[in-house]
Amino acid sequence: MSRIYLPSQGDEDWRRLLADPIKHWREGYSAMCLARCWEKAGGLPSEIARLLTLIGPLPELLLALPEHKVPLPGSQRGDSQNDLFALIRAGGHTVAVTIEGKVDEPFDQPLGRWLANASDGKRKRLAFICELLGLTQPLSDNIRYQLLHRTASAVIEARRFKTDAAAMIVHSFSPTRRWFEDYSAFVALFGATAEPDQLVCVHPGSTPRLYLGWASGEIPHQTQNSVLPPS
């Protein structure tokens, strides 16, 4: 995996990084919404910045990497491909943040389905994630695996960049906050309570500190340099 990153010239540059640049790049879906929102902001979208004021004042985007892959043990295809990874300064603190974009798409498979006939590699990966996040197995079959490995990615990258905190934030563009219940169940694993448009510290004493959040955004309009896939 290359460690050389090129500056974006617009949301179309995000498209080529997708696992399927045709199927996943659609009007009203998370990949396009996320790209348009962050490109339009030219920094941190206001709903993300508001959440991060819990960590420190005047949050500032230092670096953002779309479709950022974080290796996980247990499989040759063990990377967690995060919708967006960001390094952010909030006051005197730096934060490694993974962003999971959502509109109507679910958080992939529930853990029970993901573990059905699981290989040794899958079980090794889940054990690694649970140890990293301070969670005790067995977990509920209804917990979404995607939230587990996205949060693990934030902690891994926080340690790699030696930041003060790690955060996994769901950036939702759903007007009905679809799938919030799944996010809430995940937050409850840490003994915390989820609220829309709030950041909660679930591991205040850990190094790095770990935060989880849900940010509500509006579906952005098409930008000038966006090109829709052929129908």
Q: Which pLDDT tens digit goes with each residue over 132-156?
A: 999 999 999 999 999 999 999 999 9
Would you call 35 exposed, middle or buried from its count of C-beta atoms within 10 A (0-12, 13-18, 19+)? Answer: buried
Confidence of residue 78 (pLDDT cuts 50, 70, 90): confident
Confidence of residue 47 (pLDDT cuts 50, 70, 90): very high
Per DSSP, 148 falls in state H
First to last CA, the chain: 32
Average the pLDDT over 145-171 and give the result. Answer: 98
Angle at 230 (CA atoms; ends 30, 66), nearest 5 degrees: 35
Global pTM reads 0.93
